[in-house]
Amino acid sequence: MTAMNSPLLDHCPSTLPAQAYFDPAWFEAERARIWAREWVPAGRIDSFPDRTIRRVEIAGASVIVLRDGAELRAYHNVCRHRGAELCAAETEPLRGKLVTCPYHAWAYATDGRLVSTAFGTPTADFRKEDNGLLPVALRLWNGFVFLCLAETPPAFAPDIGIADAALSLAALDNWPMDRLVVGHRLETTIACNWKIFWENYNECLHCPGIHSQLSARVPVYAKGIMSPAESAETAAAPGPVYADGAETWTVSGRPCGPVFDGLTAAERAEGHRFVTTYPGSFVVAHVDYVRAMTLTPISPEETRLKAEWLFLPETLARPDFDLSDVVDFASTVIAEDAAACEMNQRGLRSPAYVSGRLMPQEFDIARFHRWVLERVGNDVPNLKAES
């Protein structure tokens, strides 16, 4: 019997059906109902230079993000005339405050209004006001640009595993997020469905077997759990988060630079704070640096993964700054998780595997599964009838 405040599940629920991880129909449903309806990350604010059009891809859609001074706007990368692509390059200068289609020279203002049809002379039935650029919702959070393709975007809802949304939204308020810059970037494609990545992220039963370095650093991980609350023993006597006096996720255990000023004592003691923004990203904030992870589904069985290490500019500038001490630690964890995810993906293609069972420790996977199912809806593609 688990204690009243234990997060452990009181039964072993089934997982999602196997085909949720490879069936193209599931993938299309998820793209339309999750990726095209939720807020997904598009990059750090400083990757969108002023007076520039930048092309980004979101849920299979090509989007242009314009920056004119402080103002960022996003539109679908398509002309209303006959559907030509407006911006072919990664970035283009914003010439004369107009977005001009390279095909027939239709021109749009930065607020999206159609300004000119060039040599085309529309008749009265054509209303310019109905033929402006197609807008994409945009919001900033802690220096990250998020986009949402939905006409009516949902609330922006980061997740720290507790029910209070306001607390989650404010979780990084004591970190100097807007001042951080990218000091290192790692990109890789892993051969698994995007949900496999999140399942692996949401449990630590695999930590002792898969992550030897990380489990040596974080004693509760070595017990196969994510937090002291999961076990009566560790709940009663939590002990320090890190072994051997380490303070952060670096190979040496030492911070890579000065500890952030504004953190509370509790935040310092925490060592790492994970903030999840389903379906596309999570941030892990340490006392000395922050890591942002972004994932993008490429196909039912391929997911693009991007890791960005964020630092204060003055930390990066220090003569004794040791980048590899920082990035080697999490890079090892990322590589171990990627291999585990691919092993999981290969296995569940077995025609005999219908679905699995979650262990009580996999409560965050259960929560993630509910999050997915609430969005994909009742008409999710069913288990294939046995043929």
Site for its own copies in 177-216 (CB under 8 A): 199, 205-206, 208-210
SS3 358: coil
Q: Which of 69, 90, 96, 123 touches its own copies (CB under 8 A)?
A: 123
Does 295 bind its own copies (CB under 8 A)? Our answer is: no
Token pair of 107 as six digits: 């021109």
Given the complex with its own copies, which of 171 and 225 has the nearer CB atom? Answer: 225
Short-list 278, 239, 58, CA closest to 150: 58
Does 9 bind its own copies (CB under 8 A)? Our answer is: yes
Does 80 bind its own copies (CB under 8 A)? Our answer is: yes
Which DSSP string corresponds to 287-351?
Answer: SS-EEEEEEEEEETTEEEEEEEEEE-HHHHH-TT--HHHHHHHHHHHHHHHHHHHHHHHHHHT-T
Does 370 bind its own copies (CB under 8 A)? Our answer is: no
Does 12 bind its own copies (CB under 8 A)? Our answer is: yes
Does 7 bind its own copies (CB under 8 A)? Our answer is: no
Does 104 bind its own copies (CB under 8 A)? Our answer is: yes
Does 18 bind its own copies (CB under 8 A)? Our answer is: yes
Q: Which of 96, 245, 319, 351 touches its own copies (CB under 8 A)?
A: 351
Does 154 bind its own copies (CB under 8 A)? Our answer is: no
Does 308 bind its own copies (CB under 8 A)? Our answer is: no
SS3 34: helix
Given the complex with its own copies, which of 152 and 350 has the nearer CB atom? Answer: 350
Token pair of 101 as six digits: 């289609």
Given the complex with its own copies, which of 133 and 287 has the nearer CB atom? Answer: 133
- Which range binds its own copies by CB under 8 A, 116-124, 158-166, 261-269, 324-332? 116-124
CB 204 within 8 A of CB 225: yes
Given the complex with its own copies, which of 245 and 377 has the nearer CB atom? Answer: 377
- Give the list of residues 6+ apart from residue 379 with CB closer than 8 angstroms, or none: none
CA–CA separation, 295 and 356 (whole Å): 24
Which DSSP string corresponds to 160-175?
Answer: -SSS-HHHHHTTTTTS
- Which range binds its own copies by CB under 8 A, 211-219, 250-258, 315-323, 338-346? 338-346
Does 229 bind its own copies (CB under 8 A)? Our answer is: no
Token pair of 96 as six digits: 């004369």
Q: Which of 6, 47, 52, 62 touches its own copies (CB under 8 A)?
A: 62
Does 299 bind its own copies (CB under 8 A)? Our answer is: no
Short-list 10, 121, 18, CA closest to 344: 18
Does 359 bind its own copies (CB under 8 A)? Our answer is: yes
CA–CA separation, 269 and 278 (whole Å): 26
- Which range binds its own copies by CB under 8 A, 73-81, 180-188, 240-248, 277-285? 73-81
Q: Which amino acid is present at 238?
A: P
CB 383 within 8 A of CB 223: no
Q: Which of 23, 26, 27, 77 touches its own copies (CB under 8 A)?
A: 77
Does 166 bind its own copies (CB under 8 A)? Our answer is: no
